[in-house]
Amino acid sequence: MPAVTESIAAAAEVTGCLTKMAIAPGQGGEPARYTLRAGASRLDLNERLGKPLSLAWGGAIACAHCGRATRKSFAQGYCYPCFKTLAQCDTCIMKPETCHFFAGTCREPEWAERHCFQPHVVYLANASGLKVGITRATQVPTRWLDQGAVQALPIFAVDTRQQSGFVETLFKEAVSDRTNWRAMLKGEAAELDLPAERDRLLARLEGGIARLQERFGADAIRPLDEAPVRLSYPVLEYPTKVVSHNLDKTPEVGGTLLGLKGQYLILDTGVVNLRKYTGYEVRVVA
């Protein structure tokens, strides 16, 4: 009887529109802590490792910005009108070096001042191998956790998002800016000497960095000398073959929760990228 009582107490059911999982870095080398968010409901996922978990989507999607019903989600969570009018959905978000604020054509200048004209960090990370990336300074280490990185190293502090884009573009001549998500989900990436990689890349790209500093000012693009950050994730077992569940094709999925990495649920039946389904109204049973 006590075992039944514990099982009932441990069971949980939440319903609401998904947003990306909240991830907090683990303390003292412990794995990151994951919280599923569905509307106003919250579910501690670390406590559900090794237990059954299911998601059921009834077909409803709400725009993550305005809340209106939409038949299709654009740019991971937006209705079409918001996708076409919000600055956060413009192409310059993915390619910051193409910022057109000073041309007077920014969709939302006030939003840009709050988000784009803020300190950013250019970093190296290791999720499935060496990559370069950028993020707002306030998003460290959240950005790395969202990508499933096991190592990260800030290499430049810059004044604006556009400037971070120019630095990243320069580094992309020598290193990828993408994560191989399938490789990331198959296990821990081989450890890299990120300070050595930074020094190698800086030596190779020295001229380009100098030209950017001459253009924007040395104070606007500042090299950093920080220690690498290590990140770990709550995973009981990695898949040997990555099979991705698609709620649009299979509205009900489930299995035993084996792990959490990046924005993915790792089930024994396949993986689910929860961020992809932002705005989808789901019922989660764990």
Q: Which of 192, 182, 41 is nearest to 124 (CA)?
A: 192
Parse the chain into domains and list their residue ranges: 10-77+233-285, 118-230
DSSP 123: E
Q: What percent of the chain has pLDDT over 70?
A: 96
pLDDT digits (tens, 9 = 90+) for 201-214: 999 999 999 999 99
pTM of the predicted model, to two decimals? Answer: 0.92
Give the tens place of pLDDT for each residue, 116-154. 999 999 999 999 999 999 999 999 999 999 999 999 999
Q: What is the mean pLDDT of the chain?
A: 94
Cis before 141 (ω within 30): yes
87 by Cβ neighbours in 10 Å (0-12 / 13-18 / 19+) ranks as middle
Neighbours of 261 (CB within 10 A): 29
How many C-alpha atoms does 51 have within 13 Å on its Cβ side?
13
Phi-psi region of 40 (alpha: psi -120 to 50; beta: other; left: phi over 0): alpha
Residue 162 confidence (pLDDT): 98
pLDDT of residue 202: 98
pLDDT attached to residue 154? 98
